[in-house]
Structure 1
Amino acid sequence: MLLRHLLITTIFLVSGLSYGQNFNFSGAVIVPFGESERIPTYAKILKEELESRINSTFPIKQKEEAASPIILLTQYDAIQSLPKKWKKRLKDVEAMPGEGFKVVIDDTFSPPMAIIIGKDDRGLLFGIGHLLRKMDWSENHLLLNKGIEKTSSPKYPIRGHQLGYRPKTNAYDAFSVDRFDQYIRELALFGANSIEIMPPRTDDDFTSPHMTIPAIDMIGEQSRIADELDLDVWMWYPNMAEDYEDPKTRTIELTQRKDVFASIPRLDHLFVPGGDPGDLEPDVLFHWLEEVATVLHRFHPTAKIWVSPQVFRPTKAWFDQFFFHVNQKYDWFGGVVFGPWVKIPLPELRQLTDSSIPIRRYPDITHNLSSQYPIPEWDLAMAMTLGRESINPRPKDQKTIHNSLAHFANGSISYSEGTNDDVNKFIWTDQEWNPETKVLETLRDYSRFFFGPKWVDAATNGFLAQEENLRGRLLYNSSVSQALAQWQAMEEKADNKLMANFRFQMGLIRAYFDAYIQQKLLFETQQEQKAINVLQGSEKIGSLKSIEKATRILTEPASDPYLAQLKQRSLELADALYQSIGAQLTIESHGAASGRGNFIDNLEVPLNDSPWLLANLKAIQKVPEEKLREDKIKQLLNRTNPGPGGFYDNFGMGKSWNRVVKTKIWSQDPGGLYGPRESFGVGLKGQEWVHEIQAVGFGGTATPLAWMNQITTLYDTPLLIKYEELNPEKAYKIKIAYTGRFRSKMKLSTDDGHLIHDFIQTGAKPLYEFELSQSSYADGDLVLHWTCGEGERGVQVAEIWIIPKPD
């Protein structure tokens, strides 16, 4: 017995949760007690989750068995009805807020007893989740300890995630009913109290080849599953018709909504975005929503309608109308949603909205770029390959984003496009429950619950390392090799069950993918430099020979077997994820929607300037005269050279950001609504980086990598960049590369009011040159000030040259 006790104690210590004596609850009897009709469902969930992990049965009984430990499930209002011997153990339990729970490990008698008390149905479910997340278990043991005792209730009332069953998602469209049942359950066991579903008709196709049942049937099943758990059901329902002032359009649209509302057993809230998609003038929008409310309440009488001020090209008049209607407090109106492409920062949104009206956040936790919360100052090579929608654990960033704005809202339901943001979902749920929760604790719970206690430290550190892979220059990032070593060590010891676990597979594939991209970047950076070295010596060997040699270097494939191994393992894990949950990481093999999570298709994206160099070298080869060819090679190699005493900045490079004038640091403004952020893409079609703009002056058709990312401000937020140490006695001109996804009208002036250029529509060409007034840098400092007109998307600047003019 002593040896067995020491063994159990040792196991518990390894998990990091030891607080005194450990009690073996293997084979414990689950006793549900109370009048709620959901308690038997929750008891069944506890039984299934325990038995899926532990080689033991956990029978559900209505009374205790003398020789077995007990897990009692009850509610606060039922305590007084408990048998006397149990009730006296709970005599000191105080009332809890809604959705709260208390977990007690009672060792007064033998065998021991675990008691989970919920304030209400949800509180009991969340208490069960707490036990499952904190318990120590192996295949043969369930160990509980007083260290898991806790009384807790959530800080924010809205905690959930969007689970859209449509082709645009990177895995949800392949989910079966059982898979959704398990996924929704897992979110609830970590404290989520809501899910958000979508109608069959959105800004996406009606069907997907991956769908297991029709969308109209699946949303009914999602609603049923949530209702069985007592989770609120929200629906995101965009306005997809062209003219909502047309009575015929409204009749057709209302009929469609009637069919959708009738198909789902529970709907608590309807979220209708003001735009993205479905831009409507507020007067039209709110009149239309009043008609929708009439249909909605035929099937779901208490449901409320929420709206967001999402609009791509907003104006003051639009917002004035919007908030006029918001503050009328219509009977059907539920609240305001703050999400992507909402121009007004959340603190100001709270001020514009009556204090009695709730605000729900709609955080984009799923996208890396071109999104609400892009990865800050991200390396271009990672952006070009991981793309917009990769597997993206960002635990520390997500906590910062949550906590910077949480107190202005009533909680959140995240914007998600699939399982790629799985870790982020659990971080957000934990932060909505308690913003003081440390990221480390959430990751430990996640790893313990999904992988097992023995993997807690390794997996937690592995996820933290993968977030570090996203920070700073990839070429010098030592975290990449460390993350790979950590995940490979787990892979070596993992059994078949863990290797088939999609969450483990997602951790592994990012470790291999990041390592491959880093090694590929190293090879291609060296490759480019070798080619440049050859071209710089072209006068010695002749232009044509140097072009031929440089071309051969730039087109030479990598032959390193280590690179090949990393790539092959990434492909194998992509296939494994497709088999386990239908994750679509490639278009051809897995049927992904282009640009929707298919980052494995980017394994061979060039990471150096070889496409631009090769295109221009090919053009230079056709020049008939040697002298002209030499001159053009020099122009090519000196593209970024501003000349003696000049300045050059590429805003994809970290050092150039030192010139940017910022009013807030990233943690205060993670969405970039007050100041600058980074953006990517000259022209983006799906996940392919499309070279749209001709390289000026060389005849080539590719663009330099520097045009692939920009410093950006949104809407009419000004962009300020400061240059110091100009020579006041010299004349300068400025050359600017305007690239990016926005096609905005932009104006550039200086801080002294000198106009460099009035509003111009960007996108017609990349490069512009202007004279600088010497009075604008009379003290040696030049402050450049960009603004956009009302209703524009924002400022985007890729490169700047400050070029001294000849004396």
Structure 2
Amino acid sequence: MKRFVPVFRLFSLLSTFLLIGSGNARSQSIQLQQAALLVSPGIPAPMRETAPQVLQEEIAKRTGIRPTTRTDWPKSTVVAFVLATDTELYGIPVPTTHKPDKPESFAIVTDVQPRQTTVWVIGHDSRGILFGTGWLLRNLRLSPKQAELPGPVALVSAPAYPIRGHQLGYRTTANSYDAWSVAQYDQYIRELALFGTNAVEAIPFHEDDKPSPHFKIPAAEMRIRIGEICQKYDIDHWVWTPATFDLTDAPKQQAELERHEAFYRACPRLNHIFVPGGDPGHNHPRDLMPFLRDLHTRLVRYHPTGRVWLSLQGFSVDQMDYVFRYLNTEKPTWLAGLVHGPGSPPLAQTRFRLPKQYQMRQYPDITHNVRCEFPVERWDQAFALTLGREAANPRPFFFARTQATWAPFTDGFVSYSDGCHDDVNKVVWSMRGWDPTKDVREILAEYSRFFFGPTLAEPAADGIAALEQNWHGPLAENGGVEASFAFWQKLETGAPALSANWRWQLLLLRAYYDTYTRRRLLYEQRLEQEANALLLRATDPKTAMRQALTLVNQADSQPTAPALRRRIDQLCTDLFASVGLQTSVERHQARSHERGCVLDFVDYPLNNRWWLADQFARIDSLPDKAAAQQRLHEIATWENPGPGSFYDDVSNVSKGPRIKTISDDATDIAWWNNGSSRARLSSQTFQRCPALDYDNLDPGARYTLRVVGFGEALLRVDGQRLEPTVYNRQADTVKEWVVPLTATQDGRIQVTFDQPEESHLNWRQNSRISDIWLIKEKLE
């Protein structure tokens, strides 16, 4: 492990040291209402202009005060921007007690004198100036006509990881980026930089043939403008550009190289080219490596320090071995390193095999909730079916733990993101990439202070943490959702000035949506339970089905919480106006229903009323009353098989108490009919090889295991493979096994399933299991 920990990651000298005087905080604070800005002429352009401009504009937005820039020392408070190499600024010595000496590092030092107060922003280099400005803005208390810094302050801070970035693809599949103007990109990249980001990854060519209806300017123009913005803020400009054609086709390869070179020539700043090996892309590395070399040859003609990267996503063992042999024998100097993304071989193994001269960059998926690298574990089915893959997803504590686990194998990260909905996650990754020891709660407080104001720094931080807790465990049992909602409603009422702030809107949407979904779940599940009870009492199947359907359809005819529903609608409308977030295909022209379209699924059934309507239509055509009543009994007792028997909905955390395994991507695999499937809810969430533990079994009873799913189910009880007595492979059909009496004599069994060999199948055709019963049958 130690061989993977570079020197820059050691924190004995690089950690942030902050000294704030004791006593009354306000009496110790430094007032900046009359502050002037002095800038060292030695700071390289454009940062010499960018840093003071950023400070002026961000203070002015929040206070109405715009500090002036001067070239002489006034008799007022001064914010002085200097480099560590500067000895003086317009005749005044630069402090030497706190001196940044690492790349991108900075110092903040306050000097309070009777006639002069100075806040020194000292950068080791141009980026140090930017990140020092970010620290200052995150820690200033800014409100109308007020600007103060708690002090005194004396700190030096340097980043732990040299690569800290996020992908911001201007493409049609994004749920918001495609609707942004150049000014919005500029502001967002600025804000990321203020929280420690030093890289932005664009997507220059992918989907060029699919322009978004939301584009403010053509994609070809935006890719150049993003390079200009990166130049302005002195942050690295990456591009993600897969080779999606057959590289053995020489004419196509030549055309692609020429397209790249034209972009390289036009782009004012370009630091890194990242070509994924797969997802998408399916070329063997024997063809891909020469192509990367040719890209590098063209890149350095216009950007001499430019570098090329490769991921091993989707590579076979043979292809991975080829890459490592190539690196060990050819030792290409044109390759910067490898990128680890979803579908890559294990990160620790990759770092171990990678020669030391090459870097390792992570490509973490912080944007998706299901069918992704870091799915929400044991996510309640109600959320999975409504919020789906790209909902607003602040997961600060989860991603802090995730980053802490994997970051030590890397030189940093550029995250995968498809929209603004993961904004909190971006900030957490950037700030923990700067300082892995930084308290997550403190990060949330700085986030809230900067974007929502000083009075909301602490309460909004708690509110964001509460939203993450909303997704933990069975939703019906999570009373914290209502408490979180009441908290956010109080914040909303007390902060009307934030009504147009898109980050505020996004968090409010989650608070309202979570609560509305929980109330619907409780209501609609109760309606179904009442309908099942009615079916069990039925003497006339037709009348019972009509009455049961009327009952469950009260979810539509007499919906719960209409005021919450209206507020969700309004927030989605506001978010489309403020930040281009497309929460509906019909209303906002989203690319597809799974691209963050939470408005399209806000009323998706949380009981089985659609499935029941279809089942009742089939039952109505059965030949006799007895058959109809038998089928109604099966439906009514689906989840309640009787005393001593057990039922588990395999991927529903609320209804699968015996399930021990976690399904990484169950709900997204069941993405049928654009997310509007009429199938039974339990069949839409499933696992391939679940494991279950049963106890308190009756040693004097015989048990039958029943499974509903699709394809194969290779079942074992206590490790012994059982032969089925019923074995249907079609979707939503039954398989059964008789449990040996010897297995239940101790009152417990463990049920597992072997993985069938299905590597030849498309993943959509893989076997799956959705429902499992253990049925108790009395011995004769």
Within 5 Å, which residues of 2 pair with 1:703-714?
703-711=679-687
**Corresponding residue for residue 688 of structure 1:** 675
Closer/same/farther in 2, CA of residues 106 and 254 from structure 1, 3 Å limit: same
User: Within the alignment, does 1:277 sit opposite 2:280 as a pair?
Assistant: yes
Within 5 Å, which residues of 2 pair with 1:509-520?
509-520=509-520
Matched residue SS, 1:209: coil
Aligned-residue offset at 1:321:
2.6
Aligned-residue offset at 1:20:
5.5
- Residues in 1 aligned to 2:495 and 2:202: alpha-carbon distance in whole angstroms: 35
**Corresponding residue for residue 302 of structure 2:** 299
Identical-residue share of aligned pairs (%): 33
Aligned-residue offset at 1:74:
0.6
- Residues in 2 aligned to 1:60 and 1:479: alpha-carbon distance in whole angstroms: 49
**Corresponding residue for residue 769 of structure 2:** 797
Closer/same/farther in 2, CA of residues 639 and 481 from structure 1, 3 Å limit: closer
- Residues in 2 aligned to 1:211 and 1:686: alpha-carbon distance in whole angstroms: 28
Matched residue SS, 1:146: coil
User: Within the alignment, does 1:288 sit opposite 2:291 as a pair?
Assistant: yes
Closer/same/farther in 2, CA of residues 526 and 453 from structure 1, 3 Å limit: same
More displaced 10-residue stretch of structure 1: 640-649 or 599-608? 640-649
Within 5 Å, which residues of 2 pair with 1:669-680?
677=664, 679-680=666-667
Could you say what the CA RMSD is over the residues aligned between the two structures, in angstroms? Answer: 2.9
Closer/same/farther in 2, CA of residues 638 and 492 from structure 1, 3 Å limit: closer
- Residues in 2 aligned to 1:398 and 1:119: alpha-carbon distance in whole angstroms: 30
User: Within the alignment, does 1:737 sit opposite 2:741 as a pair?
Assistant: no
Aligned-residue offset at 1:571:
0.9
Q: 8 Å contact 1:350–1:359 — kept in the other structure?
A: yes
Q: 8 Å contact 1:384–1:689 — kept in the other structure?
A: no
**Corresponding residue for residue 442 of structure 2:** 441
User: Within the alignment, does 1:333 sit opposite 2:335 as a pair?
Assistant: yes
TM-score of the superposed pair, with normalisation by structure 2:
0.89
Q: How many residues are matched?
A: 747
Aligned-residue offset at 1:457:
2.2
- Residues in 2 aligned to 1:412 and 1:756: alpha-carbon distance in whole angstroms: 49
Deviations 1:590-636 (A, max 9, x none): 11111211111111200111122221122112224222211111122
**Corresponding residue for residue 236 of structure 1:** 240
Matched residue SS, 1:74: strand
Aligned-residue offset at 1:773:
6.7
Matched residue SS, 1:589: helix
Q: 8 Å contact 1:158–1:413 — kept in the other structure?
A: yes
71, 74, 79: which one aligns with 1:71 = 79
Q: 8 Å contact 1:447–1:456 — kept in the other structure?
A: yes
Aligned-residue offset at 1:286:
2.0
Aligned-residue offset at 1:678:
5.4
User: Within the alignment, does 1:253 sit opposite 2:243 as a pair?
Assistant: no
- Residues in 1 aligned to 2:83 and 2:230: alpha-carbon distance in whole angstroms: 20
Matched residue SS, 1:654: coil
Matched residue SS, 2:520: helix
**Corresponding residue for residue 5 of structure 1:** none
Aligned-residue offset at 1:440:
1.1
Aligned-residue offset at 1:363:
1.0
Q: 8 Å contact 1:17–1:147 — kept in the other structure?
A: no
Closer/same/farther in 2, CA of residues 752 and 566 from structure 1, 3 Å limit: closer
733, 742, 752: which one aligns with 1:784 = 752
**Corresponding residue for residue 537 of structure 2:** 537
Closer/same/farther in 2, CA of residues 788 and 352 from structure 1, 3 Å limit: farther
Q: Letter of the aligned partner of 2:618 in structure 1?
A: A
Closer/same/farther in 2, CA of residues 653 and 581 from structure 1, 3 Å limit: closer
Q: 8 Å contact 2:362–2:413 — kept in the other structure?
A: yes
- Residues in 1 aligned to 2:699 and 2:290: alpha-carbon distance in whole angstroms: 60
**Corresponding residue for residue 670 of structure 1:** none
Matched residue SS, 1:77: coil
Q: 8 Å contact 1:751–1:785 — kept in the other structure?
A: no
Closer/same/farther in 2, CA of residues 60 and 398 from structure 1, 3 Å limit: same
Q: 8 Å contact 1:102–1:150 — kept in the other structure?
A: yes
Closer/same/farther in 2, CA of residues 455 and 729 from structure 1, 3 Å limit: closer
- Residues in 2 aligned to 1:244 and 1:289: alpha-carbon distance in whole angstroms: 11
- Residues in 2 aligned to 1:620 and 1:785: alpha-carbon distance in whole angstroms: 33
Within 5 Å, which residues of 2 pair with 1:142-221?
142-146=147-151, 148-202=153-207, 205-221=209-225
Deviations 1:658-703 (A, max 9, x none): 65567xxxxxxxxxxxx85452146315852334xxxxxxxxxxx3
**Corresponding residue for residue 615 of structure 2:** 616
Aligned-residue offset at 1:722:
4.5
Matched residue SS, 2:278: coil
Q: 8 Å contact 2:709–2:731 — kept in the other structure?
A: no
Aligned-residue offset at 1:441:
0.8
Closer/same/farther in 2, CA of residues 95 and 382 from structure 1, 3 Å limit: closer
Matched residue SS, 2:201: strand
Q: Letter of the aligned partner of 2:25 in structure 1?
A: S
Deviations 1:691-742 (A, max 9, x none): 4xxxxxxxxxxx32111212357xxxxx654555667897765433346xxx
Aligned-residue offset at 1:281:
2.3
Q: 8 Å contact 1:26–1:56 — kept in the other structure?
A: yes
Matched residue SS, 2:564: helix
- Residues in 2 aligned to 1:315 and 1:425: alpha-carbon distance in whole angstroms: 31
Matched residue SS, 1:234: strand
Q: Letter of the aligned partner of 2:276 in structure 1?
A: P
Matched residue SS, 1:137: strand
- Residues in 2 aligned to 1:266 and 1:444: alpha-carbon distance in whole angstroms: 34
Closer/same/farther in 2, CA of residues 772 and 495 from structure 1, 3 Å limit: closer
Matched residue SS, 2:25: coil
**Corresponding residue for residue 526 of structure 1:** 526
More displaced 10-residue stretch of structure 1: 97-106 or 143-152? 143-152
TM-score of the superposed pair, with normalisation by structure 1:
0.86
- Residues in 1 aligned to 2:360 and 2:316: alpha-carbon distance in whole angstroms: 21
Q: Letter of the aligned partner of 1:596 in structure 2?
A: R
- Residues in 1 aligned to 2:125 and 2:144: alpha-carbon distance in whole angstroms: 32
More displaced 10-residue stretch of structure 1: 555-564 or 769-778? 769-778
- Residues in 1 aligned to 2:37 and 2:206: alpha-carbon distance in whole angstroms: 43
Aligned-residue offset at 1:533:
1.4
Q: 8 Å contact 2:335–2:358 — kept in the other structure?
A: no
- Residues in 2 aligned to 1:332 and 1:683: alpha-carbon distance in whole angstroms: 43
